[in-house]
Amino acid sequence: MANDEHVALLMQGVAAWNKWRAENANIRPDLNGTDLSGASLFQADLSGANLIAANLSGAKLIRANLFRADLSGANLIAANLSGARLIRANLGGADLRLANLGGADLRDANLSGANLAGATLQNSALVDTDLTGADLTGCSIHGVSAWGLKLERTKQQNLVITRMNEPEITVDNIEVAQFVYLLLHNEKIRDVIDTITSKAVLILGRFTDERKAVLDAIREELRKRDYLPILFDFDKPANRDLTETISLLARMARFVVADITDAKAIPQELNVIVPDLPSVPVQPLLLRESSEFGTFEHYARYPWVLPLYRYEAPDQLIAALGEHVIEPAERKALEMRSGARPIPPIS
C-alpha cells in the first residue's frame, strides 16, 4: 500500500513535491498502487520511487525524473513520458500501450514483459535495455538509439521507422530499423553497400608466417585490381561466434578465395559458406606439393565451387592470379547474378 503522507505531498503539486524531495533525499517515496491517472507531473522528481501497480494512465510525466523508479506492473496507458529520465527504471510488466516515450532515456531499464503496443519511442535511448518478452507491435521508432538490447521472445511487428509526416514504412526488427532507414535516405550509405557487394573479396587460409605471406600477397594484388579484400584471422580468438562471423563476411563478398594449403580451420569455414551460399563463388587454391584435406571432395561437388587451382610458388600464383583466380571467379559471380540457380549436389 502507498504511504498516505507521500501521496498527499504529491497532490500538492510538483513544486512542493520536488522541494520536499530535495530536503529528504534519503526517503524513498512509496506510491504503490496510487491512482494518478491524468495527473500533471511535469519534471517531477520521482527518482527511486515505488510505483508498483500505480495507475498512471494518461498522466503527464514529461521530463520527469524516474531514475531507478519501480514502475513494475504500472498502468501507463497513453501516459506522456516524453523526455523522461528512466535510466535503470523497472517497468517490468507495465502497460505502456499508446504511451509517449519520445526522447525518453531508457538506458539499462527493465521493460521485460511490458506491453508497448502502439507506443511512441521516437528519439528514445534504448541502450542495454531489457525488452525480453515485451510487445512492441506498432511502435513508432524513428530516431531510436538501439544498442545491446535483450530481445528474447520480444514481439516485433509493424515497427514504424519513418517520421510522422512521411509515408509509413514498417519493419519487424528494431535492431535493423536504423540501417533500413539509412539505406532509404542516405545515398552515400547505398553507395557503400553497393561497393561492398560488388568489390568485396573474402580471403581464407592459414595464418602461420609462411602461409600468411601468401594471403597478404593475394590481398595486395586484389587491391591493385580495385577490389576490396577482406582478410580475417580465424586462427585468433574472436569475441563473436566463428560461424556467425564467417557467414556475415561471406554474404558481403562477391567471391571467396580460399587457400587450402596446410588447412586447419578451412574445412569448418567452408562448411559454413559453401552449402548455404550458392550466390557466392569459391575459388580454392593449393600449393602443388601439398595434398587436399580429407573432406575437400565434398565441397568440390558444389557447382559454385570452382576447380581447384594448384600453384607452384607464391610468385607464380600472383602472376597467374588474374587469369586463373579472379577471372574464373568473376565469370561465376556474373553467372550466379544472372538468375541461373545451380542445383546443389545430393548429399
Q: Which three cell numbers, joined as nine digits, stand for 227?
A: 577490389
Provide the pLDDT for residue 73. Answer: 97
Provide the pLDDT for residue 251. Answer: 86
d(CA 124, CA 84): 10
Which residues 6+ apart lie within 8 Å of 156 measured at CB? 136, 137, 172, 173, 174
Q: Which three cell numbers, joined as nine digits, stand for 41?
A: 507531473
The alpha carbons of the chain give a radius of gyration, in whole angstroms, of 28
Helices (H), 70-119: none
For each of the domains in the chain, give its residue range(s) and CATH number, in order of start: 1-185 (2.160.20.80), 191-337 (3.40.50.450)
Question: Is 80:59 a contact under the CB 8 Å cutoff?
Answer: yes
Digitized pLDDT (tens) for each residue of the chain, 347 residues in all: 899 999 999 999 999 999 999 999 999 999 999 999 999 999 999 999 999 999 999 999 999 999 999 999 999 999 999 999 999 999 999 999 999 999 999 999 999 999 999 999 999 999 999 999 999 999 999 999 999 999 999 999 999 998 888 878 889 999 888 778 777 776 676 666 666 667 889 998 887 888 888 888 998 999 998 898 988 665 544 444 667 778 888 888 899 999 999 877 788 889 889 998 888 999 999 999 998 888 888 999 999 999 999 999 989 999 999 999 999 999 998 888 776 555 565 55
Provide the pLDDT for residue 234. Answer: 56
Helices (H), the chain: 4-11, 14-23, 174-185, 187-199, 209-224, 242-252, 266-273, 296-300, 314-321, 327-337
d(CA 189, CA 305): 31
What's the Cα-to-Cα distance from 295 to each of 260, 266, 270, 282, 299, rounded to whole Å? 11, 11, 10, 16, 7
Question: Is 91:72 a contact under the CB 8 Å cutoff?
Answer: yes
